[in-house]
Chains A and B, each alone.
Chain A
């Protein structure tokens, strides 16, 4: 069914279609419509909405609901995302499926609440403490806000990890036609076998640990503290901590090629524009207009699609567009130079405006 939806509304429609049954959040521009639509729609779908006292409480409640067996989600923006970082680390460590939407606005600090930006891409990967890997997705349209919300739930259930949807505030607030799909392929978390679970953290052959839902007689002890496979804290043995950290990182790293989503336009061009989210639309418009330009658009930001990017940019010039003062460009430089790219140029966009076609044309030297 085709509908004309706000980005944030599309996100809510998709979350409910994906089986989301719990939302805890705290209002913050430009993510607020997600909370408001959830408050309206979730009870109709048999789920529970609660407006918590802050973002720390919100993510904590979502983790709790996930352990009670529900698909849970929260949405926020820069300052709220900062407050959630401790909880994100906890969810990573305890392998809790969870979706967090960050509608990015201009920062640092309170910055530009109503303006779009792409300033939180590194925070999504590195914001919490310690060693971990995360999955983060970046929509470039309202349709993708819908599709990637479903993808985020599927990935989080499959890999037992928090997944972050990084939309800039413009995607969140723009209205576009959306194909609201009825038929959706859903992935559900692998559940623990009935009875008392002794080896809480023993992974199966695919590297994933079956999930023991609270209240079903598994009698498990879950902790963010480094624990042995029986779930008992073990904080001073190097081999225990190393095994835990390697496993939670490797389940993402080793499956990166399965997780990666990206789009390549005109891969044979000598000049490749790298952009994600909204700026990718300007990049594509310029490439289509001039013909001798290519575009690499990562849809999965984390894990970073290093290999596919390398294959496209080898021996070429790379032009990076971001709505920030230099975040992902460092990752592109690293990957592109390693793959033998000629040079990497960067066009930042600050202040809440978006890259214009003319600016991009000038940047790549076609104007």
Chain B
């Protein structure tokens, strides 16, 4: 499937700032799914925020919901029609802060959803405030003295909750990301892909990393490809391991429901 068929081209150009990582995420989504997705059967679900609007650029059915609730809406859609492929997309604030309760419970249920969390360490659309994923001591409009908190690693949390798939890559690892999205799309149960991304406008500006290229370098320096599993859900060393944190085939919620009903 060509990129023009995959996206809603009548909405182009999109609303993202120059240098935003969402373009790479969208490109990787297309590369991962173009050969296997049926756009008539796909429902994209977004909450609130910049990356939560990616749902509206894919030319399938899509629903832009309330802040943090995308996973709960998606749960209803999937249970309403289990034949649908349901993908939730959103940022670190939407999925992991206000939506944190839905995230862990959907992972625990092993609900049949693919959740793509674009983590740019900041609230982008609302103007550069910290999220629970923001690095320790980073600057934001609500941490003018530096962030006193430590960052939450959703991918580890989700893996611990029993999700079938949990992986993290960054937009500086596009080929790994494409492969990871391919794997995640085809599995059952709860699948969580975290994509570390950049926000020059919100994160870069406040942290004196002004150029997108510098932010790519920053992202590379902050990440490493995981060899040993580091299973602490709160990031204390300030480095972000990349790779698969879970890849299992536990009975999914839909399978479990079918079995119980007989």
A interface residue numbers (CB < 8 A to B): 21-22, 24, 43, 48, 50, 52-54, 56-58, 60-70, 72, 86-87, 90, 94, 212, 214-225, 232-233
Contacts and interface: CB of A to CB of B under 8 A. Distances in A.
Contacts of A68: 76-81, 84
Contacts of B55: 221
B209 interface: no
A64 B76 contact: yes
A50 B79 CA distance: 9
A65 B79 contact: yes
Given A52-B75, A221-B8, A60 B81 contact: no
A60 B66 contact: yes
B66 A215 contact: no
A2 B62 CA distance: 45
B11 interface: yes
A215 B80 CA distance: 11
Contacts, number: 131
Contact of B84 (A54, A90, A214, A225): A214
A24 B79 CA distance: 10
B77 A67 contact: yes
A90 B65 contact: yes
B81 A57 contact: no
A224 B69 CA distance: 12
Contacts of B101: 53-54, 57
B73 A60 contact: yes
Interface string B203-240: 00000000000000000000000000000000000000
A219 B61 contact: yes
Interface string B34-49: 0000011101010000
Contact of A22 (B40, B45, B65, B80): B80
A113 to B, nearest CB: 22
Contacts of B40: 215-217, 219
B97 interface: no
Given A52-B105, A63-B76, A67-B80, 11 more contacts: A22-B80, A48-B79, A61-B72, A63-B65, A64-B45, A67-B63, A68-B76, A214-B80, A219-B39, A219-B60, A220-B62
Contacts of A70: 80
Given A50-B79, A61-B79, A224-B65, A219 B72 contact: no
A90 B65 CA distance: 8
B83 A215 contact: yes
B261 interface: yes
Contacts of A53: 101-102, 105
A128 B61 CA distance: 26
Contacts of B80: 21-22, 48, 64-70, 72, 214
B129 to A, nearest CB: 20
Contacts of B75: 24, 50, 52, 57, 60-61, 64
Contacts of B16: none
A87 B47 CA distance: 12
Contact of A223 (B64, B77, B102): B64
Given A43-B261, A62-B76, A221 B66 contact: no
A43 B77 CA distance: 17
A48 B257 contact: yes
Nearest to A62: B76
B185 to A, nearest CB: 17
A225 B64 contact: yes
A90 B62 CA distance: 15
Contacts of B69: 56-57, 60, 87
A196 B47 CA distance: 24
A211 B55 CA distance: 20
22 contacts: A48-B79, A53-B102, A60-B75, A61-B79, A64-B45, A64-B73, A64-B75, A68-B77, A68-B78, A68-B79, A68-B84, A70-B80, A72-B76, A87-B69, A90-B66, A214-B63, A214-B77, A214-B81, A214-B84, A220-B61, A221-B61, A221-B63
A99 to B, nearest CB: 14
Contacts of A58: 72
Nearest to A61: B76
A-B complex: 3 closest residue pairs judged by Cβ atoms: A64-B76, A68-B80, A61-B76
B180 interface: no
Contacts of B62: 220-222
